[in-house]
Each structure stands twice: as C-alpha cells, then as structure tokens.
Amino acid sequence: MVVTEPVFTICGTPTYVAPEILCETGYGVAVDVWALGVILYILLCGFAPFRSRDRDQEELFNGSFGVCFLSLSLEHIIYIIQGLVRSLLKPDPTVRLTAEQILQHKWVKAMASVCSQRALSDKTKRDSADSKAELSFFCCCFL
C-alpha cells in the first residue's frame, strides 16, 4: 500500500501494532519502522518486547510501550544494537527513526558490509566449485 495521507483503519497483529494505530488521529509509514523494531527485538531476544501473559489484547494495547532489555537474556547484545531498537520503538512517531536514518545507522551499515563480503566470497567459491559437488551439498543441507 502506498501511503500518501494519514490512515485511520485500525489493523495489524497486536504484538506489532504501533501506538499511533490505536489513536484516532491517523498514522503513516512510521508504523512499519515500529514493526521493524519489534522484529529486530524478537530476533535478538527470542520474544516480543510487548506482550500479555494472558494473551489479552486489551492489556497489550493499554500497556506501557517502554522497551526493556532483560540483562540475563541479553548479555550478548551490545549497547549500539539496543540503541537502534529503542530508536525504532519510540512511541512518538515523529521522533522515531525513518527508513533512511536506519540505513545510515552504524550497525546496519556494518551488517550490510559483512553480508556483502560473504555474498562475494560465496559467489567466488561457487564459481570455482564443481557443479555436481555443489548440487550434492545443496541437497544434503535440506534433507
């Protein structure tokens, strides 16, 4: 959907719903940044940042939108990534990072560089490998 003006329909999966969706003032593309923050939090922690013990949607929607990193489960997550997640999950969409700002974030740029280097390395290995051996390896990985 191309959003050119505020949207007023309440929709979305409760765990991923940005606070502004619940308001009657309308919302825009910043809700996607919020959802990205929820997804990144889940990938890092293994669980959603906002949830209800009893799976009560009203409790979830009426709860606090403060982001908390439990020290026992997140000792491996460095501060810079926590800062990125917090910037994506700002309750006020006007201070939330934009997609362009996310792409300029130090951690995102570093990960993009690592992925790019791996892709080049994998392509070089594939180009020089025997195609039969490669097919055999591919099949074994998915059995």
Indicate the domain borders of the chain.
1-97, 105-143
Dihedral sign computed on CA atoms, order 52, 58, 62, 67 = positive
Q: pLDDT per residue over 88-102, tens digit each?
A: 999 899 999 999 999
Would you tell me which CATH number, out of the four given (3.40.50.2000, 1.10.510.10, 1.20.140.10, 3.40.228.10), belongs to the domain 1-97?
Answer: 1.10.510.10
Kindly report, residue by residue over 103-115, the tens digit of the pLDDT. 999 989 988 888 8
Identify the pLDDT of residue 79.
75
Cα(134)–Cα(132) distance, integer angstroms = 5
CB 10, CB 22: distance < 8 Å: yes
Tens-digit pLDDT profile for residues 52-72: 677 766 766 666 666 666 654
